[in-house]
């Protein structure tokens, strides 16, 4: 452990204590001093404490703090991004940027972005520039209008709730690899799912012989079968560009085309793409683009984006129509599918603060793919290890199968599958599913080349340590 | 301005830059050094920078920073809690505690609380102790089971969605002072609202002659009228303990009793109470207790709590029943009304970290009322100023009418209503609705006696400056 990481946290926390003195004190004005004698003493003591921490930081000495906040709060310090390489499959795109962390420090308080709300509409707040952010967000995903939502799932929900009628047996096309939240959104809206089989992939459409890929043709087939069985067309096609299970890339362009042909709206689930790789909803032929803030846009959870076309705006972002029977109150300005305002504080500010960096990083997606493929190539040198995802990789989330390599060790090791976790931990790698040595997932997104190379070598070293053949 | 506030921010941000070096670097292990030469230089430079800032902080000198993060992020620094007294009506209960701010620093990243998620259920995560927090949260509001939700409104939605059937004309009893999100939740679920008139208050039930109060009797009357007109009982009673408009206390105990008599479930809307004053849902006779994290529990937005009884748990927190038609996948473990997991990161951690302080502060509610009433008493010394809310106050959110005092000045002042905002700003008071000098709201919640006294004197000084008579 590099003690300096802990000293940085300790200094951050000490500064928050200093900040609290000002929060509690009567403010200074042009003619008055704010702090009283006792508060000045607190500041003075706090600064002395900071000086000590800073000296320890400089010298790389001192004892490491272990808690985030007081012990009463009961929270261990979280240092997984500072003291480890984090390969967790779902956390990579949601790491905060430095700007997001700074903005969060300043805007953590509850309704922090609402200081200058004049119209009772989150997306119309000008300072901080929430209105501008919304416009840019729509553009960013190639759509006309965007709203922020508390997670991609709430985007699915807004769409299914708008498009489906309960009790009518409305059909929704989803992938057999669909994330559970898509199915839950259909369930809540009273719909029925029709799964598109990803099969074992046909050599002509998928980039690898065996990869499971949803194609336009398979979506068309499913629509036809559904039509035949029920006598009606599905109300919605909801397919992920990259699935959570394999991290495979599905043919969203082909699906967009099929959707247009049938005249069925297409929800593009970009939970693993928006904020990570370039997404152009218009080009894809999507009617809705949904992204996740905490999964792909370096933002605090729960956050996300629901973007759509001018046409669908009228339906999904319609104004409220309910009226109070006595007061006659109506709320035309409020959008019921969003329940009015959505992300009024730290969640939104972190999305906004990360946004310049996010716009930049999607341009470097090719480099992320190169790192992902580099990792896989090297990983495959460990004999009988397999990449279960399509290969070459089109994403950084990868499913591997080490049943015939690391799991052979696990079978006789006294720590069982945890031997691998133990070894990784020693090498300061975390985020694997602890104890898994058969089929498991990892994500190299956002790791520097240095880290990717370190990571690769780490796996090879572990293999060699246990006498697994390495080619 | 006390420059030291800005220096504290500057130091916090400089530390985040240092932290980022470790985030980008290969981690140190027991046998290897993490940082390379270039990174060491960044650290060294960063520490020098910090030393300079710390010296400026100590000396109270230097130039003030104005942005949160880089200029590209486009965010002004937010200092309203450090450099001002904030009387904004809705922000008071959502100010983060120091422990929440520290936890947020450590757990800001997207899926930060999911490091050790073993069951795919947020409320079952043991480290951080999310499971324990959920149990305590239910106890805290006097209910059996609790879940966190992205804002109180999402709690309303989960309940209306569970209890109402679309297209059946299901009725929901709400107050004529109901928050718009309650009506939107009913609209989304396809229900119809029946408003309970708060009238002008009857002397026998309300604590002031003219206050608008929802009573058990008026709820019973509304139920009777609804029954007569539609031939059926309402499906839900949804009433706030304290309304957003007047901050009046409504007779939730009486309403709880009426709800039981009619056998209609009662949703207690505690957006302005949970986390601020003691709430015992069982004693009230509530079937659902909804609270807001960012409005009342010192948490990042959007956050909140939905708690219920063992009985209703089976309905509102039921497991998913949808199945994939090809894969046969089911998700019994996932709760569709929540769409599975809800607050996976900074939102939840801030609620958890603030919770010990929140549990303590609700015990000091009487003191908050004393401050609220002290403020009102003094404010009423400014002749012809009125308290529109019930008085004496039973809450800290108060509506005042200064049409016959400050607005008289506004009528001829070249800055119109903004003269009051200008004067308040000079005195470092913010959060009033800028430009309002007739009917407006303020909240004294959480302000120290020193601040409340300063605030009170500030209004009197402004009145005197403009020759308004002060008794």
The pLDDT, as a whole number, for residue B72 is 80
pLDDT per residue over A171-182, tens digit each? Answer: 999 999 999 999
Query: Which whole-number Å values give the CA distances from B108 to A39, A276, A347, B117, B349, in the listed order?
Result: 29, 19, 9, 17, 9
Q: Where are the alpha helices (DSSP H) in B363-466?
A: 365-379, 406-412, 418-426, 449-465
Q: DSSP 3-state assignment of B391?
A: coil
Q: Which residues contact A273 (CB under 8 A, 6 or more apart)?
A: A241, A242, A279, A291, A296
| Interface test mutation site (partner B, options A102, A160, A293, A457, max chain B beta carbons within 10 A) | A102
Q: Is the pLDDT of residue A219 over 70?
A: yes
The pLDDT, as a whole number, for residue B207 is 43
Q: Taking CB atoms and an 8 Å cutoff, what residues of chain B touch A16?
A: 12, 98, 101-102, 105
Which of A71-75, A159-163, B160-164 shows the lowest per-residue confidence on average (mean pLDDT)? A71-75
Quote the Cα angle for B353-B355-B360, to 5°.
130
pLDDT per residue over A281-315, tens digit each? Answer: 999 999 999 999 999 999 999 999 999 999 999 99
Q: Taking CB atoms and an 8 Å cutoff, what residues of chain A touch B132?
A: 74
Give the relative orientation of helices B346-362 and B98-106 as an angle to the nearest 10 degrees.
160
Nearest chain B residue to A336 by CA distance is B184
**How many CB atoms sit inside 10 A of residue B225's CB?**
13
Q: Which residues pair with A470 in a beta bridge?
A: A382
d(CA A210, CA A187): 31
Is the CB of A69 less than 8 angstroms away from the CB of B103?
A: yes
pLDDT per residue over A221-257, tens digit each? Answer: 999 999 999 999 999 999 999 999 999 999 999 999 9
Neighbour-count burial for B15-49, b at 16+ CB within 10 Å, e otherwise: bbbbbbbbbbbbbbbeeeebbeeebeebbeebbeb
**Torsion sign, CA atoms B141, B143, B149, B150:** negative
Q: How confident is the model at residue A205 (pLDDT cuts 50, 70, 90)?
A: very low
Nearest to B340 among A5, A181, A293 (CB): A181
Q: How confident is the model at residue A200 (pLDDT cuts 50, 70, 90)?
A: low
Is the CB of A326 less than 8 angstroms away from the CB of B195?
A: yes
**Region A13-20: what's the mean pLDDT?**
98
Nearest to A111 among B73, B150, B294 (CB): B294
Is the CB of B294 less than 8 angstroms away from the CB of A110?
A: yes
Task: Give B190 to chain A, closest Cα distance, Å.
Answer: 10
Task: Give A29 to chain B, closest Cα distance, Å.
Answer: 6
Tens-of-pLDDT digits for all 471 residues of chain B? 899 999 999 999 999 999 999 999 999 998 888 899 999 999 999 999 999 999 999 999 999 999 998 888 889 999 999 999 999 999 999 999 999 999 999 999 999 999 999 999 999 999 999 999 999 999 999 999 999 999 999 999 999 999 999 989 999 999 999 999 999 999 999 999 999 999 864 443 334 446 899 999 999 999 999 999 999 999 999 999 999 999 999 999 999 999 999 999 999 999 999 999 999 999 999 999 999 999 999 999 999 999 999 999 999 999 999 999 999 999 999 999 999 999 999 999 999 999 999 999 999 999 999 999 999 999 999 999 999 999 999 999 999 999 999 999 999 999 999 999 999 999 999 999 999 999 999 999 999 999 999 999 999 999 999 999 999
DSSP B95: P
Q: How far is Cα of residue A280 from the mean position of the Cα atoms in its chain? A: 18
**How many CB atoms sit inside 10 A of residue A413's CB?**
16
Task: Give A195 to chain B, closest Cα distance, Å.
Answer: 6
The pLDDT, as a whole number, for residue A210 is 63
Q: Is the pLDDT of residue A107 over 70?
A: yes
DSSP A94: G
Task: Give A282 to chain B, closest Cα distance, Å.
Answer: 27
Is the CB of A183 less than 8 angstroms away from the CB of B322?
A: yes
**How many CB atoms sit inside 10 A of residue B281's CB?**
27
Is the CB of B12 less than 8 angstroms away from the CB of A9?
A: no
pLDDT per residue over A247-273, tens digit each? Answer: 999 999 999 999 999 999 999 999 999
Q: Taking CB atoms and an 8 Å cutoff, what residues of chain B touch A11?
A: 11, 15, 50
Query: Which whole-number Å values give the CA distances from A125 to A117, A128, A133, A134, B86, in the listed order?
Result: 5, 7, 10, 10, 19
Q: Is the pLDDT of residue A26 over 60?
A: yes
- Predicted complex ipTM exceeds 0.90: yes
Q: Is the pLDDT of residue A12 over 60?
A: yes
Exposed/middle/buried for residue B179 (C-beta within 10 Å: 0-12, 13-18, 19+): buried
Is the CB of A336 less than 8 angstroms away from the CB of B95?
A: no
Give the number of A-B residue pairs with CB atoms closer than 8 Å.
Answer: 464
Question: Which helix (H) or strand (E) is A20 found in, with range?
Answer: helix A3-24
One-letter-per-residue 3-state SS of chain A = CCHHHHHHHHHHHHHHHHHHHHHHCCCCCCCCCCCCHHHHHHHHHHHHHHHHHHHHHHHCCCCCCCECCCHHHCCECCCCCCCCEECCCCCHHHCCCHHHHHHHHHHCCCCHHHCCCCCCCHHHCCCCCHHHHHHHHHHHCCCCEEEEECCHHHHHHHHHHHHCCCCCCCEEEEECCCCHHHHHHHHHCCCEEEEECCCCCCCCCCCCCCCCCCCHHHHHHHHHHHHHHHCCCCCEEEEECECCCCCCECCHHHHHHHHHHHCCCEEEECCCCECCECCCHHHHCCCEEEEEHHHHCCCCCCCEEEEECHHHHHHHCCCCCCECCCCCCECCCCCHHHCCCCCCCHHHHHHHHHHHHHHHHHCCHHHHHHHHHHHHHHHCCECCCEECCCCCCCCCEEEEECCCCHHHHHHHCCCCCHHHHHHHHHCCEECCCCCCCCEEEEECCCCCHHHHHHHHHHHHHHHHHCCCCEC
Is the CB of A22 less than 8 angstroms away from the CB of B5?
A: yes
**Torsion sign, CA atoms B370, B375, B378, B383:** negative
Q: How confident is the model at residue A1 (pLDDT cuts 50, 70, 90)?
A: confident
Q: Which residues contact B118 (CB under 8 A, 6 or more apart)?
A: B124, B125, B126
The pLDDT, as a whole number, for residue A69 is 84
d(CA A140, CA A293): 14
The pLDDT, as a whole number, for residue A199 is 87
Nearest to A111 among B91, B100, B181 (CB): B91
Is the CB of A99 less than 8 angstroms away from the CB of B188?
A: no
Q: Is the pLDDT of residue A201 over 90?
A: no
Instruction: Map tokens 């989960």 to a residue.
Output: B158
Is the CB of A75 less than 8 angstroms away from the CB of B9?
A: no
pLDDT per residue over A429-457, tens digit each? Answer: 999 999 999 999 999 999 999 999 999 99
Q: Taking CB atoms and an 8 Å cutoff, what residues of chain B touch A27?
A: 2, 82-85, 428
The pLDDT, as a whole number, for residue A131 is 97
Q: Is the pLDDT of residue A157 over 90?
A: yes
Q: Is the pLDDT of residue A204 over 50?
A: no
Q: Which residues pair with A330 in a beta bridge?
A: A323
Task: Give B297 to chain A, closest Cα distance, Å.
Answer: 9
């Amino acid at each position: 452990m590099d003690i300096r990481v802990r000293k940085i946290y300790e200094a951050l926390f000490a500064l928050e204590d200093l900040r609290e003195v000002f929060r509690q004190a009567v403010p200074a004005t042009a003619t008055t001093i704010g702090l009283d004698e006792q508060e000045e003493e607190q500041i003075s003591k706090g600064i002395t404490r900071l000086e000590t921490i800073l000296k320890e930081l400089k010298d790389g000495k001192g004892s490491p703090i272990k808690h985030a906040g007081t012990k009463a709060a009961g929270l261990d310090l979280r240092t997984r991004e500072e003291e480890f390489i984090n390969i967790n499959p779902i956390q990579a795109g949601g790491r905060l940027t430095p700007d997001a962390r700074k903005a969060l420090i300043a805007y953590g308080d509850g309704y922090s972005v609402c200081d200058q709300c004049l119209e009772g509409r989150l997306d119309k707040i000008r300072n901080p520039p929430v209105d501008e952010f919304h416009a840019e967000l729509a553009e960013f995903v190639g759509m006309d209008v965007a709203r922020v939502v508390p997670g991609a799932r709430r985007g699915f929900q807004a769409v299914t709730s708008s498009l489906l009628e309960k009790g009518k047996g409305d059909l929704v096309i989803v992938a057999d690899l669909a994330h559970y939240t898509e199915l839950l959104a259909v369930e809540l809206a009273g719909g029925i799912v029709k799964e598109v089989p990803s099969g074992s992939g046909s050599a002509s459409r998928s980039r690898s012989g065996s990869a499971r890929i949803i194609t336009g043709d398979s979506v068309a087939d499913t629509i036809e079968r559904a039509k035949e069985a029920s006598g009606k067309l599905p109300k919605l096609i909801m397919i992920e560009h990259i699935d959570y299970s394999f991290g495979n890339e599905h043919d969203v362009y082909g699906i967009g085309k099929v959707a247009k042909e049938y005249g069925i709206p297409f929800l593009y689930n970009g939970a693993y793409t928006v904020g990570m790789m370039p997404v152009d909803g218009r080009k894809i032929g999507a009617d809705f683009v949904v992204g996740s803030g905490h999964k792909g846009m370096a933002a605090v959870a729960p956050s996300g984006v629901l973007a759509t076309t001018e046409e669908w705006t009228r339906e999904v972002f319609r104004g409220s129509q309910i009226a109070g029977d006595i007061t006659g109150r109506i709320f035309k300005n409020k959008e019921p599918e969003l329940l009015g305002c959505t992300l009024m504080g730290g969640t939104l500010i972190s999305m906004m603060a990360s946004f310049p960096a996010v716009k930049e990083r999607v341009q470097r997606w090719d480099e992320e793919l190169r790192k992902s493929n580099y990792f896989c190539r090297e990983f495959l040198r460990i004999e009988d290890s397999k990449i279960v995802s399509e290969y070459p990789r089109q994403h950084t989330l990868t499913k591997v199968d080490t049943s015939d390599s690391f799991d052979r060790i696990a079978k006789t090791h006294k720590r069982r599958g945890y031997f691998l976790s133990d070894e990784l931990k020693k090498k300061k790698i975390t985020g694997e599913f602890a104890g898994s040595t058969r089929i498991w997932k990892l994500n190299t997104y956002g790791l520097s080349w240095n880290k990717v190379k370190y990571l690769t070598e780490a796996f090879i070293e572990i293999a060699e340590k246990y006498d697994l053949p390495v080619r």
